[in-house]
Amino acid sequence: MKKVLTTAILLTTPFMATAGADFVKGDRTFAGEAELGATLTTGNTETSSFKGRLNLKHELGDWENQYLLEGLYKEDSETVTAKRYFVGAQGNYKMTDRSYLFANANYEVDPFTGYEYTVSGATGYGHRLYDTTKTFLDVEVGPGYIYQRLDNEQALIEGYDTNDSVVAHGVINFETEITDTSKFQQRFVADYGDKLDARSETSLTANIIGALAMKFAVIVRYNSEPLDDKKGTDTETNMTLLYSF
């Protein structure tokens, strides 16, 4: 993980620019995005899936705060095939226009991984390596902590009911405007301790009309040491409507 972050810094340092991509664009101090997608089929096959996301940003003096809520639910012939809920918050304290200290806390429920819930948090240093009016690249690194509670079935198999670890936390966050009405985003998060937990989200957003946009996203989650009978990689592909406010 350290090698990956070091390589990213060395590769991007020569291209650092001056300008300014605001945390909340314009003179506002608060902004948000509400995202929703759903699929329903009936007849010979009955399936349903729902994806929801609420992303809020708030500027308060030297603080830049972000709050995120996500939910995913899928059902196939009255059998639940996917269920995931996530709540997270992060505060960034600006030291300069490019450097900041961060602290975050997250809570996730995903019973299909074998865990009842996962609680994590991290603090550290962040830096904007590249910044123009249309593009930015942020890197964050610092210590973190993860606590996980196994469900009853996995606890019997593994012989313990909780798992916790001090981790090295790293984030690479890239965003660029392709045109005036579309943008590309890539976010990579990794926590390395007793095992490696990583999450990559690649998305393309295109405006339809006004504040309404269509978003296509591919999310990959990786666990280097999955529990018994669980897969180490989960992939999620979504097409959703996104409303900015």
pLDDT tens-place string over residues 107-124: 999 999 999 999 999 999
pTM of the model: 0.85
- The pair of structure tokens assigned to 55 is 């992303």
Tell me how many domains the chain contains. 1
User: Are the C-beta atoms of residues 39 and 48 closer than 8 Å to each other?
Assistant: yes
Q: What is the mean pLDDT of residues 160-181?
A: 96
pLDDT at 27: 73
Residue 35 clears pLDDT 90, i.e. is over it: yes
Among 4-18, 143-157, 223-237, the range scoring the smallest mean pLDDT is 4-18
Q: Domain of residue 219: give its range.
A: 2-244
> Position of tokens 């603090």?
123
- For 199, residues 6+ apart whose C-beta sits below 8 A from its C-beta are 187, 188, 189, 190, 219, 220, 221, 222
The CATH number that applies at residue 91 is 2.40.160.40
Cα gap 222→200, rounded to integer Å: 9
Residue 41: the pLDDT is 83
Q: How confident is the model at residue 40 (pLDDT cuts 50, 70, 90)?
A: confident
Alpha helices by DSSP H, the chain: 2-12, 152-158
Q: Per residue in 143-162, pLDDT tens?
A: 999 999 999 999 999 899 99
What are the tokens at 48? 């349903």
Within a 13 Å sphere around the CA of 217, how many CA atoms are in the beta-carbon half? Answer: 24
Give SS3 for 159. Answer: coil
Percent of the chain with pLDDT over 90: 78
Other Cβ atoms within 10 Å of 224 Cβ, number: 12
